[in-house]
A and B are shown apart, each in its own frame.
Chain A
Amino acid sequence: MTTPDLVSPAQADDLAPALGAGARRRHRFGRVLQDVVGGVIVLWGAATLTFLAVHLMPGNPAVAYAGGVGSHPSKALLAAVSKKYGLDHPVIVQYFIYLGNLLHGDLGYSASQQMPVASVIKLNVAPTAELTLGSLLLAWLLAVVWSLLTVRRGRIISSIGSGLEILTAAVPQYWLGIILLEVFAFHLGIFPATGGTGLVGLVLPSLTLAIPIAGFLGQVTREEFESALEQPYITSARARGMGDWGVRLRHALRHAVLPGVTLSGWALGSLISGAVIVESLFSRNGLGNVLLQGVTQQDMPLTIGVVLIVAVVYVVATIAVDILYQLVDPRLRSAGQ
């Protein structure tokens, strides 16, 4: 390998022990700080993008801010909106007014819901959080158990294992939801079709969201699992007298879940997308349902409000995942590269 001396791992190794615990902690803190600064920049970009969206869409921005053409805003309302968003000022001033409003937590007024956007979000955030986080956990559980059971278990079982993952990863949530509804709600009558309270009502929607994600995480985990099981450290462990389950659980698993962990932030975003579909399909309250109404009625303040909240969630999730990753992978806790 003609790696330049710069990235020589041998040198990096030699450096590592030299760093004391204090330096490591500082390094770790620096990393989180970097994440937070990056996150703020991303959110600023997201806010800018939504501002551009309102001003790039056809028609008068005042109408958009007032709730869209469909809501037939009155002259008085339009005037009030123009004043609030400073629409008679140059665009750059409007931009700062817009950012200022966001910073104060003022997301505008939703014409379709007849209340401030912030209140709409507050009312609907809990059920969606419940659904998406529950689904994420469920997806991980399914993916890990499935990999543990089927990776490298002879050709037939392994093929079934990976085949099912590919299949489930390709199944669209809307269709999967319909099938689950048909089978478990209408046919077998085990779970309620719509609404439902508590855990029972959460089962079908969570499964609908979790199964495709599990298929995706499963594919990534399987690939890593397979390559981990071929690594020399596995042979070493087996040569010490460790059994098959031992090397799977104690050695390979941790390596196998690492890339999946990085994808969890992405997965959460995908779950929120899915929530739009699932909440509509199962007639559940939540941000997804509200967002769909906003989009259908071209209620820009509501649409933008929800989209920005999702961006915040995404950014927070990414930072959380990065911290989690450092916990799972001790290599990053030490000096790191």
Chain B
Amino acid sequence: MTVVNAPSVDKQPGQARQRGRARRLTPGVVLAWLVIAFLAISVAFPGLLAHQGPLAVDPAHALQGPSLSHLFGTDQSGRDVFSRVVYGARESLPIGIAATAIGLAIAIILGFAAALGGRWADAVISRFLEVLFAFPSLLLGLLFVAMFGAGVGSLIIAVGIGSAPGYARMIRGQVIAVKHAPYVEAARILGHSRLRIMVGSIFPNAMRPLLVLGTLGIGQSIVWASALSFLGLGAAPPAPEWGAMLAAGRDFISSAWWLEFFPGAVIVATALAATALGRHLQRRMEGRLAS
């Protein structure tokens, strides 16, 4: 249809305003940055925040509730829960980041191959992804753990594999959308070679959402990884990994709520911070780049 668009606005106040909004830091984004700063310090200099080692036992002060000396209370062996949460960032964050990286790497290969590899490659890969979708991510992870046994290594790969199909489908869609974008056709009409169009236009534009996808994904990966740890399939209990702490606390669920509450709250805060940041990035990108 030769749609005669309603005459477009010949100024751009709307977009300019939207851009302003995207740039402005909302309280949510500030909060997210604070959480990230806290996590960064926890990973780099845990000693600055925690005054005890994550494994230092003190049986005399076992299972004490939160107090000024033990902000998050103590566990059954008298270990300081706050210190364990701080040191736990060193365990949980790398797991989340590594799993996301694995998931994205698999997804980029599959997504690009499907979108650019011709009809047959697309049909086969899309079917393969559909098969993977028939297994919910946690189940795919569980199947992997059943094959290779529990442990941090298989946990990372399991979560990575579990999240790959979702990313792959998104990347495939993005690449196809870019491939058919009018600006790619315009480049073709200018007489540019396939390689030049691929490298100059398709690839960078298709990769654009990856930063957002990755940021959002890290939060999800941490949640999934701790779920597996919570089920006793990841990091082993004395380790201060957040999910493992939750698993260990289950025995005291009716008496010592702080053992479950605080590690879980940190996981939620991390996931929310990653989500908020991812969305902020997305909005900024749209404000600056989207059509």
Name the A residues within 8 Å of B145 (CB-CB): 295
Stretch at the interface among B40-48, B54-62, B65-73, B267-275: B267-275
Besides the known contacts A273-B137, A277-B138, A295-B233, 16 further A-B residue pairs in the complex with CB atoms under 8 A apart: A42-B134, A45-B134, A50-B143, A170-B272, A174-B226, A175-B267, A269-B134, A273-B136, A273-B139, A274-B138, A276-B139, A295-B142, A298-B146, A303-B146, A307-B139, A307-B142
A43 vs B131: C-alpha distance when bound (angstroms): 7
Contact: B134 with A311, CB < 8 Å?
Answer: yes
Point out which of A53, A174, A186, A277 has the most chain B C-beta atoms below 10 A from its C-beta: A174
Contact: B254 with A193, CB < 8 Å?
Answer: yes
A307 vs B139: C-alpha distance when bound (angstroms): 7
A193 vs B131: C-alpha distance when bound (angstroms): 37
- Closest A-chain residue to B273, C-beta based? A170
Name the B residues within 8 Å of A16 (CB-CB): none
A-B contact pairs, 24 of them (CB 8 A): A43-B134, A50-B143, A53-B143, A57-B148, A166-B272, A166-B275, A170-B268, A172-B226, A174-B227, A175-B260, A175-B264, A178-B261, A181-B253, A182-B253, A269-B134, A269-B135, A272-B136, A273-B137, A277-B138, A298-B146, A303-B143, A303-B146, A307-B143, A314-B133
Chain B interface size, under 10 / 10 to 19 / 20 to 34 / 35 or more: 35 or more
B 124-156 to A, binary, CB cutoff 8 A, 1 in contact else 0: 000110111111111100110111111000000
A2 CB–B CB distance under 8 Å: yes
Of the residues B182, B265, B268, contact of A2 by C-beta under 8 Å: B182
B5 CB–A CB distance under 8 Å: yes
B33 CB–A CB distance under 8 Å: no
A45-B131, A53-B147, A167-B272 given; A291·B142 CB < 8 A: yes
The B145-174 residues at the A interface (CB cut-off 8 A) are: 145-150
A196 CB–B CB distance under 8 Å: no
Name the B residues within 8 Å of A298 (CB-CB): 146-147, 149
The 10 closest A-B pairs by CB, nearest first: A45-B131, A175-B264, A273-B138, A269-B136, A57-B147, A311-B134, A10-B1, A273-B136, A295-B146, A303-B146
Contact: A277 with B131, CB < 8 Å?
Answer: no
A58 vs B139: C-alpha distance when bound (angstroms): 20
Interface residues of A (CB under 8 A from B): 1-3, 8-10, 38, 41-43, 45-46, 49-50, 53, 56-58, 166-167, 170-175, 178-179, 181-182, 186, 193, 266, 269-270, 272-274, 276-277, 280-281, 291-292, 294-296, 298-300, 303-304, 307, 310-311, 314-315
A319 vs B130: C-alpha distance when bound (angstroms): 13
B82 CB–A CB distance under 8 Å: no
- Closest A-chain residue to B255, C-beta based? A186
Nearest Cβ distance between residue A60 and chain B, in whole angstroms?
13
Name the B residues within 8 Å of A49 (CB-CB): 131-132
